[in-house]
A = this chain, B = another copy of it.
Amino acid sequence: MFYTELNAKIDYSRDNLRWNAWGAYGQDFFRVGQMQEILAFLSDEFKVSEIRKTPPVALEEVTLPKSALSPAQIRELSKISGSKHFSIERRERVFHSAGKSYYDVLRLSFNTLKHFVDGVIYPSKESEISKILEYCSKNQITVIPFGGGSSVVGGLEVLKGKGQKAVLSLDTTRMDSLIRLDKESHLATFQAGIYGPKLEKILNDQGFTLGHFPQSFEYSTLGGWIAARSAGQQSNRYGKIEEILTCLKVVTPSGVVETLRDPASSTGPDLNQIFAGSEGLLGIITEVTIKVHKLPETRKYFGIVFPNFEAGLNFIKEVNHREIPTSMIRLSDADETRLYQTLGTFGKKNTPLRWLKNKIQDAVLNFKSIGEDKCVILLGMDGTKLDVAQNFAKIKKVIPMFGGLYAGTHLGEQWIHSRYNMPFLRNHVMENGIGVDTMETSTTYDRVLHLHKEGVAALEKSIPGSIAMCHISHSYHEGACLYYTIIFPMDAKKPEDQWFKMKRTVSDCFIQNGAPISHHHGVGFDHKSWYEKSTSKPALLGLKAFKKEIDKKEILNPGKVFY
């Protein structure tokens, strides 16, 4: 049901994946005419007369230093994985030297990335990983675990540990098999290097789903989701990945850690919740057991229009406090609602029928006093026909309490079909002098409105003339995730400084408001200093001690999160 809705069957061979942008070659969802309209609209918004072309450099132009691995090291590492699965080739090294953040793509595009991994290894089993970690511990080689490579927080930033002389990327994607589907316990055990679509297809074929669909779904792996505490778009129903997790296996430099396969326990600190979020600092996650669900009988995804953001927020709060089961509630603020509405018109013909439809729409909204500040909610439900019908009836009682207007399933279905497309838009705009980035955090309901305003203000202050907007992407009993997007004309001279300033301003804003530096993107290198500022010192030192004990030579992903 879900897999077949994916836009493409993806060939993940490294040659087929873009090394400096999102996705696979040939995969695109924006037609030429549509992109021209979008770019024209943006240049109009930014009051620039013409879009400036900023094409990326070719792979061959990337200033790549010689691999720092010695011939002996190359020989030894090749022996562990087999020489076919070890590489110091340009393409492999560059592809593995950055994630997919704006800052990453910027540096790759303009050839300003400074540090590169010296080799890439693709182990096929845990014993090989143990050998790699042992060899690298002895030979002072930094190891950066790599799954889908989709980090947007500098999780793959190439940094060496103290005294270390070379950096090895450890790519887990050869380890991507189903180990066991336990249909009685509704648990599946997979090797952690598996990409989202393959995992979901295996489950779907047996009538199950994981239900974990982050924006990065097509290009991220199970291990990466766990390492960075990913959230799928349907997390209201299925939970964040750390809640979906039942147990895992991690290969560390001090040996293998396996957590117990139980539904709950009262046995000291929760080890799962230490390795979830460890972002490669504590070991390589190799095997994960996760909760799976029978494929839902039906789904209902629909739009609701509210007069303003506060009304939409109050609706979300009420639905969650009434404990009405939903899969997703996504509330765009007025600016995002407007932008999506505008983008939606591009590439479509203006027929008389469309004109009439719009007129009627406006009239209805007007009648309901829904005007300029209108905000759209996309609400999704999955389950049995009976459950969805009953829950929908409950939702329909809450909508009018906050002046909302049910807007049908068209918006919802549209969203499902285009849910993985947005990152491809960035590919285009960044080649045309336009920057786009996202930041996200979470807070309790009593502070959502305030933080929403503060975050948008911080963004707009950081890059004058930018378009800043926000949506609530995930919601909970006690609060919600605020997800911000900023679009801006790239600074022609110092685009990196422009980004630093933006990142700094917004991150300061989050932690000054007591909000975490991330809700589901992670900490990585980019957020490290804010993470440290907002974490109590004794706990931070405790984590460092934990890491130092497990990774005595400090070879694992240095310079990230808490180390």
Contacts and interface: CB of A to CB of B under 8 A. Distances in A.
Contacts of A321: 186, 293-294
Interface in A151-182: 182
Interface in A257-307: 257-271, 273-279, 282, 291, 293-294
A255 to B, nearest CB: 5
Interface in A300-348: 317, 321-323, 325
A390 interface: yes
A157 to B, nearest CB: 16
List 4 A-B pairs, minimum CB-CB distance, nearest first: A273-B273, A265-B516, A263-B479, A263-B476
Stoichiometry, as copies per complex, reads 2
A129 to B, nearest CB: 14
A515 B278 contact: no
A246 B182 contact: no
Interface string A534-558: 1111110111111111100000000
Contacts of A262: 441-444, 479, 514-516, 519
Given A442-B264, A478-B263, A542 B546 contact: yes
A260 B530 CA distance: 13
Residue of A265, A321, A516, A531 with most chain B CB atoms under a 10 A cut-off: A265
A83 B518 CA distance: 47
A250 to B, nearest CB: 9
Contacts of A480: 263
A266 B231 contact: yes
Given A263-B477, A267-B535, A268-B278, 12 more contacts: A184-B446, A185-B445, A186-B445, A231-B266, A257-B536, A263-B476, A265-B442, A266-B516, A266-B518, A268-B277, A270-B270, A271-B536
Interface string A437-481: 000011111100000000000000000000000000011111111
Interface in A26-72: none
A237 B399 CA distance: 25
Interface of A: 182, 184-187, 228-231, 240, 242, 246, 252, 254-271, 273-279, 282, 291, 293-294, 317, 321-323, 325, 383-384, 386-387, 390, 394, 441-446, 474-481, 514-523, 527, 531, 534-539, 541-550, 561-562
Residue of A293, A317, A538 with most chain B CB atoms under a 10 A cut-off: A538
A255 B518 contact: no
A542 B538 contact: no
Contact of A446 (B185, B325, B478, B548): B185
A185 B444 contact: yes
A521 B264 CA distance: 12
A519 B264 CA distance: 6
Contacts of A544: 549
Contacts of A269: 273-278, 543
B536 A256 contact: yes
A266 B184 contact: no
Nearest to A445: B185
Contacts of A182: 444, 446
15 contacts: A186-B445, A228-B266, A229-B265, A240-B264, A260-B534, A261-B444, A262-B516, A263-B475, A263-B481, A268-B523, A282-B542, A294-B321, A323-B325, A542-B545, A545-B546
Given A240-B264, A291-B478, A519-B264, A550 B543 contact: no
Contacts of A273: 269-270, 273-274
Contacts of A293: 321
A267 B257 CA distance: 21
Nearest to A443: B262
Nearest to A235: B264
A271 B540 CA distance: 9
Contacts of A254: 537-538, 541
A297 to B, nearest CB: 11
Contacts of A538: 252, 254-257, 549-550
A562 B514 contact: no
Contacts of A441: 262
A266 B477 contact: no
Nearest to A541: B549
Nearest to A518: B266
A523 B266 contact: yes
A258 B279 CA distance: 22
Given A477-B291, A548-B545, A317 B184 contact: yes
B561 A268 contact: yes
Contacts of A323: 325, 383, 387
Contacts of A267: 229, 277, 516-518, 522-523, 527, 531, 534-535
A227 to B, nearest CB: 10
Contact of A444 (B187, B384, B444, B522): B187
B550 A541 contact: yes
A282 to B, nearest CB: 8
Contacts of A523: 266-268
